[in-house]
Structure formats: C-alpha cells, structure tokens
Amino acid sequence: MSGVARFRRALVVGKFCPLHRGHMVLIDAALAACDEVFILSWTNPEFAGCSPDVRAGWLHALYPGVRALVVAHGMPSNDALDAVQRHFTGWLCSEKLGTTVDAVFTSEDYGDGLALALTAYFGAPVTHVSVDQARAAVPISGTAIRADPHAQRHFLDPRVYASFVQRVAILGGESSGKTTLARALARQLATVWVPEYGRQLWEQRGGVLGFGDMLQIGQQQCAREQVLAQQAYRWLVCDTSPLVTAFYSEALFGAVDPGLQQLSQRPYAVTLVCAPEFDFVQDGTRQDAAFRQRQHAWYLAELARRGVAYTLLAGSVGERVARAARILADAATIGVCLAAEEIPHA
C-alpha cells in the first residue's frame, strides 16, 4: 500500500464470517493509510459460529484500538438491492457511528459503487481504495473457510480459530485415569490438553486450600482453556471442568460460591466420564476409594440432573482412548456445534 494517499477517516465493511487473514490485510491497509478507521459488520442471515458477539470479540481482540460496530438487528438481507445496502451503510456511519468518511477500503467489485453512494449521502467526496481484489495475497474466501475451518485454519488468526475448537470435558473420581486419558487422547487427536489447575494449586500450597480458592480455581481453569484453544486442532481435551471444582467445594466446605456455580454450567461439546475401576492409588494428594466412589456417583447424578449427555468410559487406557476417538469422530460427522465463545479482550 505504499504510495496510497493518506485519508482522515476510512471505512471497512464486511461480514467477517469468519474474520480471516484476507480481511486483516484489508484492515491493515486502511490503518496504514488513514488517521482513523471505522469497521462495520453485518450479515442477514447469520452463519453458524459467527454470531454478532463472536465477531465483535474477534475484532476487539485483533484491533482493540479500532471502533467497530457489529450490527445484530434491523439490517437488510444479504441479497437486498445494492442501493438498499449502500443507504444502510451511510445511515450506520451517520446515525450509529456519528461520523462521515473520506475513503472506503474494500476487496470487492462493489467498492466503486459504494464510494459513489457514500459521496452522495455525506455530500462530500469518498474515495474507493481497492486492496487485493484478485485475492493474490491471501487466496481464500469466507465460504471456503466455513466449509471446513479446520482444514483452512492457517488462514485464521489463532484467536479466531479458537472459536471453532470444540471442548471435550473429561470427568472422573480420584485415581480413575482421568489425567492419563486426557494426555493420551490429546496425543491421539494431534491436539493439546488442559491440565487440572486445582491439583497444581493444591500441590503448590502444600495441600492447604480454602473456600475462597475454589472460585479462583474454576476461573483459572476456564482461562487456561481459552488460551490453549489457540494452540489446539479441532478438539481441546480438558482434564476436568468447573463442575469438578464445584464438587470439591461442596464436599470440603459444604457450599459453592455463586460464581463457581455459574461456571459449573459451562457447556462442553462432549463429556466423558472415567469409570472408577482401576485399583485406587494413593499418591499423597488423594483421599480414598470410598471418596472416589462418592465422587463418581455425584458426577453421574449431577450430569443427569442438568440434562448433560455423557459417555462412561471403561476398560484399559487404550480401549478408552479408542472409544473416545470414535465418539469424537462421530460428533464431527454429525456436525456437533457449540456456540463459539467470545474471545477474551486483549
């Protein structure tokens, strides 16, 4: 974009379903050539995994200093007449963003017409700047990525791709093979797994935890999931969930913090429960076999009460991994979809 005249205020419009590296080339070009950039995003109908909240999260994470408006209601359909789309764009700039622009950056053939329409709407010249319309720099489209975001993940920033990673929760009583399964399953799936933060904190504190630590454990476990989802492929294997922390809070302190109770409702695409059939091994951090059985029964009862589907895994580690892998393959085939999580603010 060297040699492009500088503009005061520029506009970038897109569906961003999802926000891919081609969009980033476009936005970066506008940022390099303008004093201020505004971003508008809408689509009607919406696309799975690309809700307004999710798109707003992507834009905030990647471009925290840019003012972006993601429209959730009242927008024209994607097949509306060009004149309707252009008028809506001008109205959003004027009424919702409170601004005019003197440039519009696009990678589409509608850019010239949009610039002319905005010129008429604002009563001042608006220049169209075309950026990589031939898709030479980033040869991809949103349609191709939506067809298989995992195969096209190299066209997505990790913070965007993380929204398409599905989480697998592995639950189980003490000494039931939960951590061993998590590690082995992640290896089988060529992805990463999230260790149990509560156990790590327990070891750091010499086995002394208080009621106030329970909420922190749940929050940290979720935060680690969000970080590691950026390194995962298709699936993120989670050794425990906030539901486990809620059990320990209730078992050890007789109460569960409301914040932790809310976190324990966190949804997972697939939930696996390890059967307590291995010989109980006391490693210095565990209670006893009776506690393990109580813990296992609580999980099954609580999952049933909440209407959460789960699979009970028994047999050797190899048998458990093989069955879990089949379950996940079937889930991928039928298109199991969990609402993409909002990206944490940068």
Question: What pLDDT digit, counting tens, does each position of 209-247 carry?
Answer: 999 999 999 999 999 999 999 999 999 999 999 999 999
Tell which phi-psi region holds residue 168, choosing left (phi > 0), alpha (psi between -120 and 50) or beta: beta
SS3 percent helix, strand, coil of the chain, rounded to 5, is: 45, 15, 40
Q: For residue 337, is pLDDT > 50?
A: no
Does residue 282 surpass a pLDDT of 80? no
Question: Per residue in 106-150, pLDDT tens?
Answer: 999 999 999 999 999 999 999 999 999 999 999 999 999 999 999
Domains 7-146 and 165-333 are alike in CATH topology? yes
165-333 is a CATH 3.40.50.300 domain: yes
Position 1 scores a pLDDT of 47
How many angstroms separate the Cα of 239 from the Cα of each of 78, 170, 251, 271?
42, 5, 20, 11
Q: Which residue, chain included where needed, has tokens 């799936």?
A: 189
For residue 180, which phi and psi values (nearest 5 degrees)? -60, -45
- The answer to whether 181 touches 313, Cβ cutoff 8 Å, is yes
Highest mean pLDDT among 133-142, 166-175, 219-228, 269-278: 219-228
Question: Phi-psi bin for 101: left (phi > 0), alpha (psi -120 to 50), beta?
Answer: beta
Looking at the domain that runs over 7-146, which CATH code has it been given? Answer: 3.40.50.620
Task: Identify the band that residue 203 occupies on the pLDDT scale cut at 50, 70 and 90.
Answer: confident
**pLDDT at 99 (0 to 100):** 97
Q: How confident is the model at residue 176 (pLDDT cuts 50, 70, 90)?
A: confident
Compute the average pLDDT of residues 61-79: 97
Q: Lowest mean pLDDT: which of 193-207, 213-227, 255-269, 306-320?
A: 193-207
* Spatial distance between the Cα atoms of 137 and 1, rounded to a whole number of angstroms: 12
Contact between 129 and 105 under an 8 Å Cβ cutoff? The reply is: yes
What is d(CA 93, CA 262) in angstroms, rounded to the nearest whole number?
Answer: 38
Task: Please state the domain extents for the chain.
Answer: 7-146, 165-333
Report the C-alpha gap between 82 and 258 in whole angstroms. 50
pTM listed for this prediction:
0.89
Q: Is the pLDDT of residue 342 over 80?
A: no
Question: What six digits make up the tokens of 222?
Answer: 């979720």
pLDDT (average), residues 307-314: 96
pLDDT at 288: 60
Tokens read off for 251: 């078992």
DSSP tag of 233 = B
